[in-house]
Structure 1
Amino acid sequence: MKKHIHWILVLMSLCVIGIIGLQLFWNYQNYRSTAYTFERDINESLNTAVELEMDQRHQQLVDQVKGWLADTSFIRITCDTKNRDSNTVFHINDRYPKFPGSKGPSFGITDFKAKLKHITPEAKQILIDHFGDRIVKSDLKKGTVYYYTPRLGDRLTKAFDKSRVRLHSLDSIYRKILLSKAIRTSFSLNTRDTSGRVFLTQPVNADFRRPYQKELVRATFESPDSYFLKTMKWVILSTFGLIAVCLICFGYTARTLLSQHKLAGLKDDFINNMTHELNTPLSSIKITAEALKTFDYEPGRQQEYLDIIGYQTEKLTNLTARILDANRLVAGSTQNWQPVELRGLIDKAIGDMAIRFADQQATITCEAPQEALLVFGEAISLLTVFTNIIDNALKYASPNLRLTISLMATNRWVEIRFADNGVGIPTEYRTRVFDPFFRVPQGNVHDVKGHGLGLSYVNKVLRQHRGSVTVGANEPTGSQFTIKLPLL
């Protein structure tokens, strides 16, 4: 049995270790995946944000070019149909040329079908929108500035070279992109103070003339570990909760198995002890009955043998009664309970044991207050409790036993103390003496007859009566049992 329990506990331990290992491995893999995704997303998002911010600056330059084109004091826009197909051709020139004879571009617009010899406001606006949105913006995206006219080229080059990344706008764009990917964490752009922030993105060039010129932007974040803990905190807590439940279940199961094993051992001791207890009177009854059956004794001798049979039969009856008493409890029902006066009940217990006190030359004293101490309960069960404790003191008594019983009422509770000068109970066994079938070890042979059920019965009855029992030392020698019961 012990070997089987050992292997069961080993297998359970391996299962629990396996569950914990899988949970920890899963969390580690989840951490690695989350950290990798976090790093990838923040770098990709920064690239996207920089592109969008550059598009905004490109559009600003395009809007400036459109404004310059609309300024008649700066640019002159004309059109004619002097070409082979007689289509409208637009001409863009400086109002005041920088160089004598310099001319700007001339071009047609495929979607413009009207044939105009002179520019109109509507046609001019179409030309400005087409030139800015199609031609200038395309060139800016390539990182180049063309001198469409000398003066227009000068202005555009200056504005192009002065354009710098706007961190506040980039911050807003970047934050929105991160939120769209469910990344909610603080960051800063191009900060020099990285205290408390240990993760940097890859730098991104935000200059219009990249890669030849560089204006690097990078974001500083908290570490992926902190982000992982914030993101996965409930999953982590659930994991550790599951591990805790597994450990608690394992501990409870192991404790139950060990308790069952311990109880099985105590039951084996009980059965061995009871076998001896039952064999002695049964052997006497058998031998005496066979003698009466075999020999023809005179009436006096027959009566003597019958008395022996009666005595041994009574002994067996008392033995079985005690075993039944150990299992006879009220089982939660209080229908037959009534007020019980404790001093009178203790006096009755002492009276029932009077012959044994006389045989063992024991001295017993009882100290109780004058007023009646009433508790609500079952008198027979409580009487058995007191009898068992007194019987226990008599069994393990040293010569000239002195037993003192004292009753004291405090704060709606009554304490009943049984103090003797017997052999006492070792400290390591004082809590176990209330376990079923347990007896204090005394080697392979118990000189004192018993079944390990008396104090277990005492504990069960008192718990049913909402009370308790403890045992301690009675200096200099002996034991002291303390019973607490609620007063009525």
Structure 2
Amino acid sequence: MNKRIFLVLVILMSCSLIGIILVQAYYINNSLENTEKQFNFNVKKALSYVSQTIENEEKEDYLQKFNDLLSTGNINVNDTTAIINIYLKEDSPETNETIIYRNGILEENFKVSSSLFDIGLDSLNVRRILQKRETETVENNSIDGSKNLSTMLSKLSKVNETTHLAFESVYKDKAYLKPIHKRVTVEKVDRLLALKLIEDDINIDYEFAIYSNDLATKVKTENFELPQNKASTFSVPFFYNKNDSSNYRLLVNFPERNKFILSSVLTMLTLSIIFTLIIIIAYSSALYQLIRQRQISQIKTDFINNMTHEFKTPIATINLALDSIKNPKIIDDKEKVLRYLGMIKDENKRMHAQVENVLRISKLEKNELNISKEPLELNDLVEDAITHVELIVEDRGGHIETNINAEKSSVLANETHFTNVLVNVLDNAIKYSPEAPKIIVTTELAGNNILVHIKDHGSGMSKTAQKRVFEKFYREHTGNIHNVKGHGLGLAYVKRIVEDHHGHISVESEKEKGSTFTIKLPLIS
């Protein structure tokens, strides 16, 4: 896939994923806001209901007491003013009818002892207003002109009669003089508030209190506290006076308010998060696989190029050697023929070793490589591996320093494969030393493990290369330069063998300062 097309696809997919997440977040946020608004509305409605109910009940209680006094006659009457026979006559030419309205009002004033109402005053002035309304419809041809108005009114039928009680010195102001804890109880507020909240499916704990001019009264629950953020507290006026104002306020807090609001969208939120995470994981995995496939494709291309280059040299050498042997001047020279045959054999062994490495890795991945283990001395394996590369190091003018510090080195290992592991690491140190190789091999104990450190002073590697150096086919890019032979299989083989021995291998490196490979294996008794 073209790199530019791949980049465009990644950007479009990423934008789509971000868009889906933002849309979900928008709708969830809207749901939360709507739920919160509905919650606030229901709470304020419940508070208003409690305030009005308690005030109406108190008022009805006072009026009932007054009616009881009125019925027993145990009351002082100051005076009585009656306004009666207020008439309104209306002629209807269309229907040939006359409609007569009468409104009669009777007002009676009383003085009552306030002690009966427990509002702290000597007496209370009260007035009772009786109102009677009547309506009569009369046919005009049936009304004799000599009949006076009083005769016609005798035919009026009673339509409605109401009785209204009013306090001359308004009851609300007088009741204000009574302490709030004598006007209402905690239990009553709690009962009314709980019933109203349950009607709106609000079944969470709450705390309430009645405040007078921002000061707490005795009417409050034990755990009520006025928070610093007053926006989280709901309040309504309590016990209005005649001017429709109030010094009292009923305050309510819901400690689990946010939890309750969140629970209303919890299912939707949980499903949204789960599905979004699935999409993100699937998208990330697909993206990772695409990038990984591109990297593998690049690595395989590099591997084929390196393999071709490394096979090309021995093949060319073999062809030259064979051409030389065919030369009549050389074919009779036994010494030169043997030399060329030796070259052919060495190059053939070199190609065979490369093919063997590829097959070995393939068998490891399929778990087809038979690795039998036996107790061995790791110090002896280290010294044996050094002998395999010692001549190559000396040929390049370098040296290998050995520090066998581990007093115990018994491990369970396969001699052939683990020797190959050590040789591969040593060979890697030699290949990546541009100057004369200087290698230090150290063994030491670390608890129940033995450590083997192989340190070189070569070209080192970058941080990125350190993370991927044990991957199959991986080689750090150095352009189209093949001054270092290999195809990225040696260290991959090393890692698989060490792990099969229940060990661990790691590398520390710095550019131009060399690398240190550390192999850790468990000791056996």
TM-score by length of 2: 0.65
Partner Cα distance (1:200, 1:418) in 2: 71
Partner Cα distance (1:208, 1:470) in 2: 85
Structure 2 match to 1:131? none
Structure 2 match to 1:123? none
1:232 correspondence with 2:267:
no
Task: Tell me if structure 1 keeps the 8 A contact 2:460–2:512.
Answer: no
Partner Cα distance (1:187, 1:241) in 2: 39
Task: Tell me if structure 2 keeps the 8 A contact 1:197–1:223.
Answer: no
Structure 2 match to 1:434? 470
Which blocks of at least 5 consecutive residues in structure 2 are unaligned? 82-125, 131-163, 177-182, 216-225
1:176–1:217 CA distance, 2 compared to 1 (3 A) = farther
Task: Tell me if structure 1 keeps the 8 A contact 2:237–2:250.
Answer: no
Structure 1 match to 2:298? 265
Structure 2 match to 1:176? 195
1:278-325 per-position Cα deviation (integer Å, ceiling 9, x unaligned): 233345556777898999995758777665554433222111012223
1:146 correspondence with 2:182:
no
Deviation at 1:344, TM superposition (A): 1.7
Partner Cα distance (1:380, 1:4) in 2: 49
Task: Tell me if structure 2 keeps the 8 A contact 1:407–1:417.
Answer: yes
Deviation at 1:388, TM superposition (A): 0.5
Task: Tell me if structure 2 keeps the 8 A contact 1:326–1:453.
Answer: yes
1:402–1:480 CA distance, 2 compared to 1 (3 A) = same
1:477–1:17 CA distance, 2 compared to 1 (3 A) = closer
Structure 2 match to 1:41? 42
Structure 2 match to 1:6? 7
1:55–1:467 CA distance, 2 compared to 1 (3 A) = same
Deviation at 1:214, TM superposition (A): 4.9
Structure 1 match to 2:425? 389
Partner Cα distance (1:439, 1:398) in 2: 17
TM-score by length of 1: 0.69
Task: Tell me if structure 2 keeps the 8 A contact 1:422–1:477.
Answer: yes
Aligned to 1:10, what secondary structure does the other structure show?
Answer: helix
Structure 2 match to 1:29? 30
Deviation at 1:30, TM superposition (A): 1.2
1:426–1:316 CA distance, 2 compared to 1 (3 A) = same
- The AA in structure 1 aligned to 2:364 is L
**More helix as a share of residues:** 1
1:226-273 per-position Cα deviation (integer Å, ceiling 9, x unaligned): 944652168397466766666566555544443333332222211111
Q: State which of 285, 298, 307 in structure 2 corresponds to 1:274.
A: 307
Q: State which of 409, 434, 438 in structure 2 corresponds to 1:402.
A: 438
Which blocks of at least 5 consecutive residues in structure 1 are unaligned? 76-93, 103-143
Deviation at 1:417, TM superposition (A): 1.0
Aligned to 1:403, what secondary structure does the other structure show?
Answer: strand
Aligned to 1:469, what secondary structure does the other structure show?
Answer: strand
1:267–1:208 CA distance, 2 compared to 1 (3 A) = same
1:358–1:56 CA distance, 2 compared to 1 (3 A) = same
1:324 correspondence with 2:376:
no
**More strand as a share of residues:** 2
1:312 correspondence with 2:347:
yes
Map 1:113-152 → 2, pairs under 5 A: 146=128
Q: State which of 486, 493, 497 in structure 2 corresponds to 1:461.
A: 497
1:339–1:65 CA distance, 2 compared to 1 (3 A) = farther
Deviation at 1:10, TM superposition (A): 1.6
State how many pairs are aligned.
420
Deviation at 1:33, TM superposition (A): 0.5
Q: Give the percent of matched residue pairs that are identical in Structure 1 and Structure 2.
A: 22
Aligned to 2:128, what secondary structure does the other structure show?
Answer: coil
- The AA in structure 2 aligned to 1:365 is E
